[in-house]
Structure 1
Amino acid sequence: MTTTPPWLPIETERLLLRDFHEADFDPIHAYATDPEVVRYMTWGPNTPEVTREVLDRNLERQKAWPREQLDLAVEVKATGAMIGVVSLHDANTDNSSFGYCYSRDAWGQGYGTEAAKALARIAFTELGHHRIWATCDARNHGSYAIMEKVGMRREGHLLKDTKANDGWRDSYVYALLAEEWRAANEE
């Protein structure tokens, strides 16, 4: 039997980044069916069956540690509302991809940046990562604005590399090295 690491859940000023609960189905399904939320994604809008599969997969994954993929529900502490997900893919390596998705009601309030900064800190301080990286649709200003606020830098612009809901899209690639994160976060 494996144990959950002592740094989980992750608490920030306004948020709790935690394992998923069965009760998260409705909020997940709400954002995963919103055409604006999934506009730049390679998935969605979800059917109830797809949302169930996603939640069940996360509930099963979180029974083990270490986890190949670290997906955490993002909850607003003041209200208890589950507003999205933040993830490290290939979490057991030292070069993880990073991602997130949030309910439209949560946009523009700094929650995405707050959660992303917290997960980046865990990647570098607790998991010993050398680098985190992410991609997003080049039209998705909200997504790459979060990456830039976390301190990630744009490393590339890939042309028509990913098939999204509206056809082939260009992607931006962003990354942050542990040494860059440490230099920006030294007291």
Structure 2
Amino acid sequence: MTTPTLHTGRLLLEPYTPADEDGFVALFQDARVSRWMGDGPCAESEDRALFGRIFSKVYAQELFDVWAVRQGGRLVGHAEIKPSPSPDVDGHEIVYALAPAAWGQGFGTEIAQTLTSYGFDALGLTEVHATVDAENAASLALLGRIGFRHVRDTVEDDGSTTRVLTRSAGAGNAGADQPR
């Protein structure tokens, strides 16, 4: 299974190319973005190694789908749907990040709707999950608007709280863009 190119109303989600490395690293090095991703900000060398693993492991072994998010040909974000590494989530979760310059334009909603629809339609999932830092009000609100429901909270080793949200295939999602 090769990661397909997906379209939303205004965005293109396509597999990364090696030329995207600097843009990927810049996105993940921005503390406003990385504070919500994984364990938070890391060294530039770690982000470069992560980018390399997208090609050497994820794409090479077809482990899961991961995309560069573009608007008008410009890299504005990152998206993926993958088996959840969290023991608190049984199934696939969506992950998305946008450059701060792209915030507040509805792109996050387009990405999350498209990833969710892809999970149901292309992957045949019955549920799609998201794990979100309890302080990330923007992502929690976005996911709530598109039909995700809060399932439980998990307290992390550092004392922070992660919210587990789930959307079932039968849940309503008025106005959702479907992948083309």
Q: TM-score range by the shorter chain?
A: 0.7 to 0.9
In angstroms, what is the RMSD of aligned CA positions?
A: 2.3
CA distance in 2, matches of 1:143, 1:182: 16
Taking structure 1 as reference, are residues 85 and 24 closer, same or farther at Cα in structure 2, changes over 3 Å only? same
**Alignment-derived partner of residue 87 in structure 2:** none
Q: 1:178 aligns with which of 158, 169, 172?
A: 169
**Following TM superposition, by how much is the alpha carbon of 1:44 offset from its aligned partner in structure 2, in angstroms?**
4.1
Residue in 2 that maps onto 1:4? 2
2:156 to 145, 154, 162: 162
8 Å contact from structure 2 (residues 146, 173) kept in 1: no
Q: What SS is found at the alignment partner of 1:180? A: coil
Per-residue CA distance 1:14-39 (angstroms, 9 max, x = gap): 11111011111121111211122122
Distance 2:32 2:55 in 1: 26
- Name the counterpart of 2:128: 132
TM-score, normalising length from structure 2? 0.83
- Structure 2, gaps ≥5 residues long: 85-89
Between Structure 1 and Structure 2, how many residues are aligned? 170
Shift, 1:162, TM fit: 2.0
Match of 2:59 among 59, 62, 83: 62
In the TM superposition, 1:92-171 aligns within 5 A as: 95-158=91-154, 161-163=155-157, 167-171=158-162
Query: Aligned letter for 2:2?
Result: T
Secondary structure of the equivalent of 2:34?
Answer: coil
TM-score of the superposed pair, with normalisation by structure 1: 0.81
> Could you list the per-position Cα deviations for residues 76-128 of structure 1 after superposition, in whole angstroms to 9, with x for gaps in the alignment?
1x2x111111111228xx93122112211111111111011111111101110
Amino acid at match of 2:74: A
Ranges in structure 1 where 5+ consecutive residues have no aligned partner: none
Distance in 1 (alpha carbons) for counterparts of 2:93 and 2:64 = 10
1:168 is displaced (CA, Å) by: 2.2
Query: Residue 75 of structure 2 is aligned with which of 77, 82, 97?
Result: 82
TM-superposition CA deviations, 1:43-64 (whole Å, max 9, x none): 3423332122111111232234
Give the Cα separation in 2 of the matches to 1:103 and 1:179: 31
How much does 1:42 deviate? 3.2
SS in 1 for 2:170: helix
CA contact (8 A) 2:98 2:108 kept: yes
Task: For 2:32, give the aligned amino acid.
Answer: E
